Amino acid sequence: MTLALIPSGLQRQSLGLHRAEAALQAFIETEDDREILDEARRRLDSAAAYYDRESEDWMAAQRLSRRVERRMAPLLPPKEKGGRGKTRYRGNGFPINRKVRVEWELMASVDGLFEDALAAGKVTRRAVVRYLEEALARRVDPDIRLMDADQAGEDWVLLAGDFNERLSDLAGTVDLIVTDPPYPSAMAHLWTDLAKTAASILRPQGILIALSGKIELPDRMERLGSALRYGWVYAEPLERGGTRILGRHVSQEWKPWLAYSKGDWPSGRIDWHGDLLTASTKAKDFRWQQGAETAQFLIQALCPQKGLVVDPFAGHGTYGIAALAAGRRFIGCEIDADRFRAAGERLRESPQ
């Protein structure tokens, strides 16, 4: 049995695991029994803990463990709620942290990039995930290049491609940027790009508001501050109360909107308004999609009537819908072909 090629315990001699890697890889790619795959994963992780780091056997154990995780991702049964940040799976005896499942699914969602990561010596799960996040952040969806034209309707335009390129023609014309940039640290460079683009396309005293996570908040503020002037932080309560932040032992009950301006903060151009916002109803149509209510309030408070609102990370068009509902014009930019199509459909269906 191929599984027998993986040591079941820590043994005091070199087991030559790297010499069996090809056979084990073939076994992993064809096996569809979760229990067998999980046993393989446990044995590989145990072996990796024994081998000298950077040895051929250690590298082989790590590569094979990543392949098992990637293979298991689509085989996992439906999620069940568990305690202390765990998600348990029906019909499978082991608990998996929600973050781990997301990482497995990320590895399973790409082909060439996953192999590129292993070929580059990125073999631990953390290293593979970081490599994939960085590569995906810089990759333009090839399908986006096949789009015949951008999408447009009354008072809105949706641009396909990289915002660094597509928004350059808007220099000095934008009243407000409202956006939800990616949070992972591997994509931090996008916040620097966002600040530079905002400084170019905003009118004098134009405003950028960006939803941010808290772990990386100092870095995000430094990046935005490299090209813009700090204005304020708005607090949006979480819809369902606290979320455990395990790395801080804090129950997070609100998330920050960072507000920056081009030049002096436009205190004379906007009316008085509060900075403790109302929680948005989280949208359920798409993963990571935010609700529109809070964005609509901020657009009404910070953007003049009939002003131009831009979202460089348009996603599924939620903030475009908020801008139109608030009586403003909207231009969005999206790099992913599927989200680009979905955003266009939602904007066309939005009442204006």
**How far is Cα 170 from Cα 174, in angstroms, rounded to an integer?**
7
- Percent of the chain residues past pLDDT 70, beyond the cut: 83
For the chain, which residues make up each domain, given as ranges? 2-138, 142-349
Other C-beta atoms closer than 10 Å to the C-beta of 131 total 19
d(CA 303, CA 307): 6
Tell me the C-alpha distance between 54 and 60, whole Å: 10
Nearest one of 158, 159, 161 to 140, comparing CA atoms: 161
* pLDDT tens-digit series, residues 317-332: 999 999 999 999 999 9
At residue 229, φ and ψ (nearest 5 deg) are -105, 130
Determine the 3-state secondary structure of 167 from DSSP.
coil
Q: Per-residue pLDDT tens for 33-56? A: 888 898 899 889 888 888 888 788
Residue 194, classed as helix, strand or coil, is helix
Percent of the chain at pLDDT > 90 equals: 51
Q: How far is CA 1 from CA 15, 24, 39, in A?
A: 17, 10, 13
For every residue of 243-302, DSSP letters joined together read EEETTTTEEE-EEEEEEEESSS--TTTS----SBPPPP----SSTTPPPSHHHHHHHHHH
95-142: per-residue pLDDT in tens?
567 778 889 989 998 878 999 999 999 999 999 998 888 787 666 555
| pLDDT recorded at residue 15 | 57
Confidence of residue 13 (pLDDT cuts 50, 70, 90): very low
- Residue of 87 and 183 predicted with greater confidence: 183
336 HSE (CA, 13 A, CB side)? 11
Task: Classify domain 142-349 by CATH number.
Answer: 3.40.50.150
Q: Is 341 left (phi over 0), alpha (psi -120 to 50) or beta?
A: alpha
pLDDT tens per residue, range 293-305: 899 999 999 999 9
The pLDDT value recorded for residue 139 is 63
- In angstroms, rounded to a whole number, what is the distance separating the alpha carbons of residues 27 and 5? 11
Q: Dump pLDDT digits (tens) for 257-277.
A: 999 999 999 988 899 999 999
Quote the CA–CA distance of 310 and 293 in Å, as a whole number: 17
What number of other Cβ atoms are within 10 A of residue 8's Cβ? Answer: 12
- Measured distance CA(207)–CA(143) in Å, rounded: 32
Q: State the pLDDT at residue 244.
A: 79
pLDDT value, residue 66:
95
Could you give the CA distance from residue 223 to residue 183 in angstroms, rounded to a whole number?
A: 13
Compute the mean pLDDT over every residue in the chain, rounded to the nearest whole number: 85
Query: What's the mean pLDDT in 134-153?
Result: 66
